[in-house]
Structure 1
Amino acid sequence: MMPCLKRVNKQIEAVWSRIQEGRGENEDPSFDCGGEFLAEEKHSGKYSCLTCGSQLFLHLQVMKKNSLGCFHPEESSVSLLVGAGSKIQCPGLNCSDNTDVIWYKGNKAMSEQPRASCEKNGVLHFCKVSQFDTGVYFCDRQVVEQGVKLIFRRAVNVTAVPHFTPSYSPRIMYPDGSKAEEVEPGRSHTLTCKVHFPFEMRFSPEVQWYMHYGGNMENMTLLRMETEQKEKVTFQEYKVTRRAIIKGVTQQHLNNTFTCIATNSVGNSSVTIKLQKKIKAKWPSVVGYPIASLLLVAGLVIILHLKWLELQLIYRSHFQHGKHDGEFDVFLSFVWSAPSAEGEGLLTLSSHSGPDTDEEACLSSIDPLNSEEGKVTQRPLEELLPQVLEDRWGYRLCLLERDVLPGGAYTNDVVLAIQKSRMLICLLSADYLSDSNAVFVLESGVQALLQKSPPKLLLIWTSKASASLIQPDPPLPALVQRALKVLPSLDWTSGKPDTRNFWRSLKKAMPDHRNEDALDQRLDRSSHDVQNISLH
């Protein structure tokens, strides 16, 4: 490890580059301080620091092992027992009388690291060895050769070990031998053995797969295996995995047994398994089809049970409407909303001539006016719709505030009015869904729709927000929430220049007139004062 430098309590992360001295080499090596590398003779030479801020030089001399008179190979590595006190000798310390040694781990001196250690007579002492003490340590001491002071650096490879000798045999984690492995005849099969070995100084695990003929444990054949795979799972244990591949499973393999044997210096462990033919699951059509049909029917029953109310409302609101001789054609329910800045839901009635049919004349006359007169006479849909249904289209309307006598029970009046009407129209908005009386009208209409002689029911959304965005207070009853998702509805969009599609859709949804002659007479009478209605 090339040294790092310190200046005024600040450590410089230096980069050392060798200065070319005519050696004929194309590239000169460079090393970061604190980075470990394998020293070779070719690394000897003069180095300069590129990142030190000033020109600094270092002369490195890599010496051959046999040139050291007191060199001992075993001194370059040592194993320390975790939990015990220990010490590290600086290799070659006896070659000199100087015992002043500075120990390093990485690029920091041991005296500067948060580690309980001490140096005495060139020996590094540990009070208690930790597993994190594993690493490469460097010891520096000064020597004098031919009158020149040099720093002599040696490296020691330290390994912290949990124990020097293992205390137990290998543990086979897989297979456990309690059940046979399923195979398909003629196809390849892989036998896998996973074993946990305790740590050993000279770790040489042995895992083998054998086949026994006829269950005879003495007559064994070694199988062809892949190379062992080793990995450290804990500080004290390694996991070794070894696989044997049977290229084609035969009846002979089904008749024999297979054993995995794991061995270490303490002893061995083994587990024996058998192979069995995989049974393919085939459902006979006699059994499979009825079960599949039963599951399908059960699923449909569950869906019908969960969605039965919605299905009833869809069917009754679109298909089941018998004759109804009630007193009113339409029960109209709405809540007056405060007018918005944009004039939401505002229209005017004006006289118009030109279309060939009465239907087109009616639709075309219900358009916003661009004139100053039209801007003055604009009205909300809650006020305009009763005029269209009664005066224009000739339907008999029921309005609670007009056609129900005061003083009665509100709930009874609502239910009776709905029963007397052929159709219920609700103008929905955020204010409507937050009004308990209005919600009661809607809920009563839904309940009436579920009876044998239901009225028609139509929702008209007059709010800009959709049903999913409106959060009324208090929350709507569960019956109303489910009904809003499936009942027929129309959207009234504010600021829409052309409303003919809305009125045309509303006209189609209305019930048939019971007396067309009376209707024609009312339409004739109302055509004379159309202008009066629009300007009233």
Structure 2
Amino acid sequence: MASFIFFLLFLFIILGGTTPAVGQSSDQSECYDWGESSESAVAVMEAESGWLSCPLFSHPSVYNYSSTQNPGHNLFWYRLPEGHDLEQPITYSSRISKDRERLWLQPALANDTGHYICMLRNLSSCSKIAMRLKVLRRDDVVPGNSCLPAVAMAATPVMIPLQQGAKVDCPDLQNANKMADGEPTVTWFHGCNKFPFGSSDRQLKGVSLQVHVMMDHYQGLYYCRVQYQRRGQTLNFTRMLNITGIYPDSLPKVPSILQPTKDKVLIVRQDKEVRLVCRGLFPYVDSPWDIWWTVDGKTVEQLNDSRFSKVKTRQVKYDYGDRQEESVLVIHDFQADDRNREFNCSVKNGRGFETRRVRLDVEVVLPSVELGCGLGVTLVLMLLLFVVYHIFWLELLLLYRSWFGTDERHTDDKEFDVYISYARNSEEETFVLSTLRRVLENELGYSVCIFDRDSLPGGTITDETLSFVARSRRLLVVVSPGYASQGSQALLELKAGIDSMALGGHLRVILVQYRPLQRQGWVRELRGARVALALVRWQGDKSEDLTSHFWKRLRVELPVRRVNSKEEGGSGKDVALMRLSSQNSTNSQTGLISNTVKHPENVYNYAA
């Protein structure tokens, strides 16, 4: 379209027509001004050859130098120096000359910097355009301590397949051939190294650089300095090339899609922004390439829907000429109906084309707030229950036993709930009779058996001890430093209880630690069975109260006891009778105990 408009303007100019924009009069005092060229300024190194090409001939369909000579057009050059407002015609000399559509500076000087106007005119038309020239010094291009040649123009890219060869020519060498009086010479550099480069893989072939086998370390910036003679003067200019190794031509050059993968379903969220990524691999070929999205067969521009937009294509990776490019399609407000749309990612270059469809599915969104609150409440309750159980676990266990526990009196034929074994000394005897017995019988309603109180006079100590232990549901052993060291009675009770427990009977042994005891103070029978036995520690005054940890812990180990209103009266009578019986038998047992202490060999025989 732009070329067609230029062509129409050209016809108006050629036919002598006038346009309001030009404002041209019959005396040709006006000239159609195209302004300044949109191309960047031309840069030339100081003391090197350079040239300006008239931008009017950059569109051959509008202006062509050969065709403009027929209607009698002439090309004129003007210069607007830096800091001046008036155009000055250029005076041609041996240094500044014109060749067709080019203005040559051989060489360029620092004060040549400024604006240059090229004007194409005949008797009936006139057009002009301006361009800028910058003459650079070496310090403007390279650091002062650099060994690299100074180059004003950008590097020319050169692609050479790896393990293959190519011939590299210096850019603009053909222009020097036109102006030189003889054959130009070319000097090649690779970085700071001047040819020869010390490798037979790179040689000069005339003025060209011949690369026989391209290697990875041959990549980089190359410089070529063209030197020629003109009218007895030696002139030169330098150009830069960026030689890059690419994958060989024998490898596939058809583009492929890396993302999205084939047959993969993307999970998206409704009413949220969705970004679909299309990533393609483009092997190097000397042809245009493209990557794009389509929605129902239309590009984003053709779709004309504000909900769809695309992010500028960007390069993700570059590897020996092969490039990975990425294009992103943004759906700003994804709707349920969009699942039925066809989203296609497509790539193409001069060798082939590929497209792939993306399948979308809507994510099932769980009520996160409700779930979060529910989970939080659950965790708080669990933590609260844990704290409560950690603090009140004994109370909870006792409460559970009172509701669901089984009264062992209905399941066995035992006579006593508890048999108390202790060292026969005054201190422990006082603890057992005044504390343990009193609370267990009077307060908790257990039937307690104490050998010194409940045994009949005249019986055998060994037989009665074994009988009492066998008829009891629990053996409560009061452990202290003096236990089992004052005689064999306590040791006999302990061995009988442990043996009954080990043989699978219905007796359980409970240890009550009356005073602290080191491990070496434990008798041999307790050392082996200590791990399997429950230990309840008496802590003096802190354990006196029935609500103390000691009594709660002891009740957990004792049988479950439920006393109803009818049984309370009977149990009270039984307790009174037991107290009376104990008082009557105390005197008789005292003589037996003293006899046993005086003649312990009767019991030692059993222990042996």
Query: Could you tell me the TM-score, scaled by structure 2's length?
Result: 0.36
Larger radius of gyration: 2
